[in-house]
Structure 1
Amino acid sequence: MYRGYQVKVSTLSDLFLPTTVNWKDEKAIFKEKIESIQSQVNMDFSERMKIEDDDGNIDAEKIVKAWFPVQEYDVFLSHSHADVETAIQLAVWLKKYLGLKVFVDSTVWGCADELLAKLDKKYCYEQNTGTYDYDKRNETTAHVHSMLAMALQEMISKSECFLFLDSGNSLDLSLWQSQETKSPWIFEELKTTSIIEKIRPSRMVLREELEHRDNLQKGLDVHYPVGSELNKLTRLTYEDLKSAQTDHQNNQSMHGLDALYNRTPLRIADQFNRGTQTR
């Protein structure tokens, strides 16, 4: 991850006007692609794979690779499940106008609850009583949530940009002023953005080396920002997105995220915290 943004759902309505793009058709195409991926993700323990080793132990790595496959995307889109349609629209817009590959977790990965149900049925259900073993269910729940949390962290790390969809669903309105969420997964994702290493894209480093070959800065001071994780994410507006769209259309060789970055300059403190490692 290199940069983080937050955008209010309420500011995106003009971005999704019918005159801009045929959203019905574009969303249908997006969902068809997702369904194709999901058909590969939605595994069947009994038919598609063996999840136990020779000693009868569950192979967590196999489950994670099959259920939560991690790939490289330009943008990780964090959102409330209630905002999934808006998230898909924004993903389509970013792909169409900025050429960005967007990861919308709820549309790509298998549902953690569905995975948990499969594990519980196979390992926790007691045939003689027709009930589930309470202790075993606690264990399966802990393991599945751990698998999902680790996969989320890796996916955020591999994505160059993190984009948080701010709405009354992701940040409860009663807690809005204190910037709090009731979602443990949104909390997990936002917390991850503040603790993982920030990696500058290699294209930026190469460009800087060509432009400032003899003037590379070294020994930068390290600043530790304070405040909530949301305050560390640059506010992204409708105007920023439209300007980035124009810049990208006028210069197709420009990377879509560079178009965003140029419209939302990093604060000096943020630049200090980016480090020098490249992707």
Structure 2
Amino acid sequence: MYKSIQVEDFDFSVFPEISSQKVREYKERNGNKLIKIQDYLLDRKNTLSVDKITENLFLDIKPDIFLSHSHADEDDVIRLAVLIEKELNLSVFIDSCVWGDAFKLLRKIDNKYCLKGDTFNYHIRNHTTSNVFMILNSALHRIIDNCEAFVFLGTDKSIPITDTFEDEKYLSSPWIYSELQFAKLVRRTKPRQISLESTDINLRESAAFDSAVDFAYSIPTTDAILSNHKLKRWIECSQNDYINRSLHPLDVLYKTISHR
């Protein structure tokens, strides 16, 4: 990863309209995998291969941009991804796109190994859930390491805990916290594509379920911040620059952000 960025006030309503049909098509392209438990078994009985799960559910991709966000903002985040991919020809990874596959796998495992009569065995289900979530977390960290720009889209849904602890803002999602914390610590690499005109660049829930209890996570800092207005301007300016081949869109982004 080259740079981590937080958009503090993401609001897609100011961006060009992306239809609900486009959102559905995006979800369908990223969520049509058929989960078969037997594909992951090592011993034809009850030993699941972590390597096989990772290989099938979480491809080893290297996106230009990794979008971290609240599950509640998913549709607007997909609209942003569609816009970036369409206008700037950049590859975008949305973390929630792998959640559906992970939950499908978890349900299959639970129904096969945890269901005893009409109820689930509490201890076995804790074991299966913790393992699948650990695999998912490790896979997301690998993709963050592989991406060039990590962008956290801050909204009232992704940072909902505020005015509770001396007016400080906190995260309630352990998944967003994990992604931000890893993005803070992960190795920094050089950008993959730098235009000749920009060589002066200074190189330096999201769980989908309700919970009866919340945890407050301090928000890890990113390398830079970006307002929603500047995010919109970046897409508009980059589109013109990209068409004219004068600057790569990511170079324009790095010139737009404000370093902490």
TM-score by length of 2: 0.79
Equivalent position of 1:273 in the other structure: none
Equivalent position of 1:134 in the other structure: 122
Residue type of the partner of 1:235?
L
Q: Is the 2:62–2:143 Cα contact (8 Å) retained in structure 1?
A: yes
Q: Is the 1:68–1:110 Cα contact (8 Å) retained in structure 2?
A: no
Q: CA deviation at 1:105?
A: 2.0
CA distance in 2 between counterparts of 1:118 and 1:55 reads: 14
Q: CA deviation at 1:137?
A: 1.5
| Higher fraction of strand | 2
The 5-angstrom pairing of residues 19-34 of structure 1 reads: 23-24=18-19, 28-29=21-22, 31-34=24-27
Equivalent position of 2:142 in the other structure: 154
CA distance in 2 between counterparts of 1:139 and 1:238 reads: 44
CA distance in 1 between counterparts of 2:88 and 2:127 reads: 43
Q: CA deviation at 1:100?
A: 1.7
2:37 is aligned with 1:45: yes
Q: CA deviation at 1:181?
A: 0.7
Q: CA deviation at 1:165?
A: 1.1
2:226 is aligned with 1:235: yes
Q: CA deviation at 1:33?
A: 4.3
CA distance in 2 between counterparts of 1:97 and 1:9 reads: 22
Q: CA deviation at 1:87?
A: 0.5
Equivalent position of 1:276 in the other structure: none
Residue type of the partner of 2:176?
I
CA distance in 1 between counterparts of 2:158 and 2:49 reads: 33
Residue type of the partner of 2:147?
S
Equivalent position of 2:13 in the other structure: 13
Q: Which structure has the larger Rg?
A: 1
Q: Is the 2:159–2:169 Cα contact (8 Å) retained in structure 1?
A: yes
Unaligned runs of 5+ in 1: 221-226, 268-279
Change (3 A) 1:9 1:86: farther
Equivalent position of 1:96 in the other structure: 86
TM-score by length of 1: 0.74
2:246 is aligned with 1:256: no
The 4+ residue runs of structure 1 with deviation greater than 6 A are none
CA distance in 2 between counterparts of 1:70 and 1:202 reads: 17
Equivalent position of 1:245 in the other structure: 236
Q: Is the 1:73–1:159 Cα contact (8 Å) retained in structure 2?
A: yes
Equivalent position of 2:189 in the other structure: 199
Q: CA deviation at 1:56?
A: 5.1
Change (3 A) 1:106 1:261: same
- For the aligned residues, what is the CA RMSD? 3.0
Change (3 A) 1:243 1:102: closer
The 5-angstrom pairing of residues 159-178 of structure 1 reads: 159-174=147-162, 177-178=167-168
CA distance in 2 between counterparts of 1:243 and 1:131 reads: 52
Q: CA deviation at 1:109?
A: 4.8
Change (3 A) 1:240 1:33: closer
Q: CA deviation at 1:9?
A: 4.4
Equivalent position of 2:4 in the other structure: 4
Change (3 A) 1:110 1:62: farther
Q: CA deviation at 1:64?
A: 1.8
| Higher fraction of helix | 1
Q: CA deviation at 1:183?
A: 0.6
Report the secondary structure of 1:72's partner residue: coil
Report the secondary structure of 2:221's partner residue: helix
Q: CA deviation at 1:228?
A: 5.1
The 5-angstrom pairing of residues 101-112 of structure 1 reads: 101-112=91-102
Report the secondary structure of 1:171's partner residue: coil
Residue type of the partner of 2:221?
L
Percent of aligned pairs sharing the same letter:
30
Change (3 A) 1:4 1:185: same
